[in-house]
Amino acid sequence: MTHRDILVTGGAGFIGRNMIRGLLDDGYTITSLDNYKIGGWEHVPASLRDHVEWVEGDTRDLELLTKTVRGKDAVLHLAAPSSFLMYEEDPVDGASVTTHGFLNVLEAMRRGDVGKLVYASTSAVYEGNPVPYTEGMELAPPDLKALSKKWNEEVARQYSERYGMTAIGMRPFSVYGHDEFSKGGYANVISLFVWAVLHDVTPVVWGDGRQTRDFIYVEDAGRAFQRALECELPTQEFNVGTGVETTFSEVLAMIGEELGRPVAPRYVDVPIAIYAERLWADITRARDVLGFRHRIDVREGVRRVIEAARAARTSPRWNTLGAAQMYFETLPRG
């Protein structure tokens, strides 16, 4: 590997922290640009603090971005809201970060003659299609979050064609992992269920528990991005999933088995109009082109989430996490 100097936007976030750990291990030099809106600096582990150049700032600040990207070999762009809830709460800010921030990244790269971008799109761009989702499908996402990400993909293609950049769009499915405390109520459902159960709070499930997700462990997701960074590829998009569907009921059963006691959830009506019943990735392209396969299956992942949650019991933030799933009951919109 040639030595590479990378800017990671959203580097302090859930996926960013884990991705950076892998990149540092492989000899990369990393600068992070993050506004610390989600979680904050306190969630950056001590092991990363001294080994990354941390720049505090917003991707909507074009001058800062232009200055920060100068001299870099590539950009990994993650800074955007990760949960549909954030768009529910503040649609203008959500769409602004996702679109304006993304355009700034491309523009700063063009100005600085930086030729390679790997960015986080989302599996939500497929909404409305039948599963499994394949990269060639027509996209007509019915909500703002997915539409903003689809716009990212279109603008990325335009910049590639006009300015000779390579922009690889990664479409993560349901990313979860040991280290998700920074996201609180916005965390993946696996974390929310584990935190609730360990607080003796009854997990709340929308619908009948048969909805599925393609759950991918955060370290695996990070490796997929790194593969996209390292492969010589034309501009295109990749699913970041495992190719395995798991129901919420199966997740709860696994949590129960790991804890040695059954978990009985409370089922409530789905309170929103647009809700994905199934999320399932066709992983053929990522496997054949990137050589990417996940390493951690859901059972092992659930085990790690439980272990991390148990270890966090003594930390001050622990007390807040039992209530993190409460949005399942309080979200009134439809």
Query: Which residues make up the interface to ligand NAD (CB under 6 A)?
Result: 9-10, 12-16, 33-39, 58-60, 78-80, 82, 97, 101, 120, 122, 172, 174-175, 182-183, 188
Q: Of 70 and 261, which CB lies nearer to ligand NAD in the complex structure?
A: 70
Q: Of 247 and 259, which CB lies nearer to ligand NAD in the complex structure?
A: 247
CB of 152 to ligand NAD, least distance (A): 9
d(CA 150, CA 122): 8
CB of 309 to ligand NAD, least distance (A): 17
Q: Report in angstroms the alpha-carbon separations of 161 from 69, 98, 165.
A: 21, 21, 7
Q: Which pair of structure tokens corresponds to residue 182?
A: 């920074």
d(CA 104, CA 118): 14
CA–chain centroid gap for 246, Å, is 18
Q: Of 218 and 261, which CB lies nearer to ligand NAD in the complex structure?
A: 218
Q: Cβ-closest residue to ligand NAD?
A: 13
Q: Look at phi and psi of residue 71 and say left if phi exceeds 0, alpha if psi is from -120 to 50, else beta.
A: left
Q: Parallel, antiparallel, or unpaired: how do β-strands 29-34 and 53-56 relate?
A: parallel
Q: Of 182 and 212, which CB lies nearer to ligand NAD in the complex structure?
A: 182
Residues 6+ apart with CB under 8 A from 46: none
CB of 170 to ligand NAD, least distance (A): 8
Residue in 180, 188, 194 with CA at minimum distance from that of residue 303: 194
CB of 261 to ligand NAD, least distance (A): 28
CB of 241 to ligand NAD, least distance (A): 10
Q: Of 45 and 164, which CB lies nearer to ligand NAD in the complex structure?
A: 45
CB of 149 to ligand NAD, least distance (A): 7
Q: Report in angstroms the alpha-carbon separations of 66 from 33, 86, 114, 200.
A: 11, 27, 10, 48
Q: Of 10 and 203, which CB lies nearer to ligand NAD in the complex structure?
A: 10
